[in-house]
Amino acid sequence: MKYTTIIYLLLLTLVIGCGSENDTTSTETGTAAENTETLRIGVMPKLVGITYFEATGQGAKQAGEELDINVHYDGPTSAIHEDQVRMLNTWMAQDFDVLAIAPNDPDAISSTLRSAVRDGFTVMTWDTDANADTSRRQVFVNQASNQSIADTMVDIMVQGLEEQGKEPKGKFLIVSGTPTASNQNTWIRFMKARIESEFPDMEILETLMPGEDQSKAQEMTTAALNSHNDIVGIWGLTSVAIPAAAKAIEDAGKTSEIYATGIGLPSSMKPFVESGSCTKFALWDPVDLGYLSVYVAHHLKTKGELADGTYDFGRIKGVVVKDGEAILGPPIVFTKENIANYNF
């Protein structure tokens, strides 16, 4: 279908006759603008059925309505990269214009993305990146810089311990998602590097990997608490891990002994903030993340390259793009004082 369109445009150019290079460029731009309502953008989360990716889907659809384009938002029911590959192959067979994916495995998905690029599809990632070199994806829409997320996690933990009259030392536990999740793995790497440098008395236990399964995350956290009765703090680095950790701490009767924080949704964490099981945690606006991803996808398809600079995309202003990465903004820190202001 893409190649038929190209042939048609070439024939149209011959019929119109010879024109200047600027005239031809102007006509092509105008034609693209007139036909944007026919654009089909496939936006794939890691999985469907959890609140976080329902919120990003809401934002993606909002952007599609504003831009008057077709946004197809769908993903596997489990965080399995093979299912993502199958869905991508289907979307390519259906000739989607842009493929925007949040990969479950950054390396395993890369060969499929590279094939899509080779076949003329516009390919980008969001929420979590693929291997930028091997996938040949054009842009990664990131929630916030990886370093800022890692620093926020360490800062909240240290400050929380200080509020409890404790020093940053002892045993700490990280509850993550899947072993291949590049975003969580990168945050953990940055967190450990800073802790080793600035807080050498903090001992990080083996990271738990329950996948995107809240029940399993709670079970694994409970088991860790039983094995290590002297844990001082716990980070939950996914939207299901932090409520699971907070619940495990509550059930163990250790709310005053263990400080919990992480990356979570206000809607999921509000009960634990009100009970005192978690006084502070962080996230970004997932609705805005989905919204921005579709706007970036539209820009790539209609205008081509997204060069380094600062951009306004719909309601989201001042988006910094650098080295193939578009940053939504710094993390939001949620507390008892502001959590009611957010409805995701």
Render pLDDT for 80-109 as a digit per residue (tens, 0 to 9).
999 999 999 999 999 999 999 999 999 999
Q: Residue 33: pLDDT above 50?
A: no
Q: Is residue 185 domain-resident? A: yes
pTM: 0.86
How many structural domains compose the chain? Answer: 2
Residue 97 shares a structural domain with residue 153? no
Q: Residue 183: pLDDT above 80?
A: yes
Residue 106 shares a structural domain with residue 180? no
Say what the pLDDT of residue 174 is: 98
Q: Residue 22: pLDDT above 80?
A: no
Calpha distance 276→284 (Å, rounded)? 22
Residue 40 shares a structural domain with residue 132? yes
Q: Residues 310-318: what's their mean pLDDT?
A: 98
Q: Residue 6: pLDDT above 90?
A: no
Residue 124 shares a structural domain with residue 179? no
Calpha distance 100→257 (Å, rounded)? 43
Residue 122 shares a structural domain with residue 157? no
Residue 291 shares a structural domain with residue 202? no
Q: Is residue 341 domain-resident? A: no
Residue 105 shares a structural domain with residue 160? no
Q: Which of 249, 264, 283 is the last residue of a domain?
A: 283
Q: Is residue 217 domain-resident? A: yes
Residue 91 shares a structural domain with residue 217? no
Q: Which residue segment(s) compose the domain that 197 sits in?
A: 146-283
For residue 274, which of 181, 337, 208, 193 has the smallest C-alpha distance? 337
Q: Is residue 11 domain-resident? A: no
Calpha distance 264→243 (Å, rounded)? 7
Residue 267 shares a structural domain with residue 301? no
Calpha distance 137→166 (Å, rounded)? 45
Residue 208's pLDDT band (cuts 50, 70, 90): very high
Q: Is residue 321 domain-resident? A: yes
Residue 36's pLDDT band (cuts 50, 70, 90): low
Q: Is residue 305 domain-resident? A: yes
For residue 272, which of 235, 280, 213, 257 has the smallest C-alpha distance? 280
Residue 70 shares a structural domain with residue 129? yes
Looking at residue 131, its amino acid is N
Tell me the backbone φ, ψ of residue 122, rounded to 5 degrees. Answer: -85, 125
Residue 94 shares a structural domain with residue 217? no
Residue 37's pLDDT band (cuts 50, 70, 90): low
Residues 297, 102, 124, 342, CA torsion sign: positive
Residue 16's pLDDT band (cuts 50, 70, 90): very low
> How confident is the model over 277-286, as pLDDT tens digits?
999 999 999 9
Q: Out of 9-23, 52-66, 153-167, 221-235, pick the least confident.
A: 9-23
Calpha distance 263→307 (Å, rounded)? 30
CATH number of the CATH domain containing 323? 3.40.50.2300
Residue 38's pLDDT band (cuts 50, 70, 90): confident
Q: Is residue 201 domain-resident? A: yes
Say what the pLDDT of residue 210 is: 98
* Strands of the chain, DSSP E: 40-44, 70-73, 98-101, 122-126, 140-142, 170-175, 202-204, 231-236, 259-262, 280-283, 309-313, 316-322, 325-327, 332-335
Mean model confidence pLDDT for the chain: 90
Q: Residue 14: pLDDT above 90?
A: no
Q: Residues 27-51: what's their mean pLDDT?
A: 71
Q: Find where tokens 């993390």 sit.
A: 331
**Long-range Cβ pairs for the range 154-160 (8 Å, 24+):** 154/191, 154/194, 154/195, 154/198, 154/199, 156/261, 156/280, 156/281, 156/282, 156/333, 157/233, 157/235, 157/259, 157/261, 158/199, 159/280, 160/233, 160/259, 160/261, 160/279, 160/280
Q: Is residue 16 domain-resident? A: no
What share of the chain in percent tops pLDDT 70? 89
Residue 67 shares a structural domain with residue 120? yes
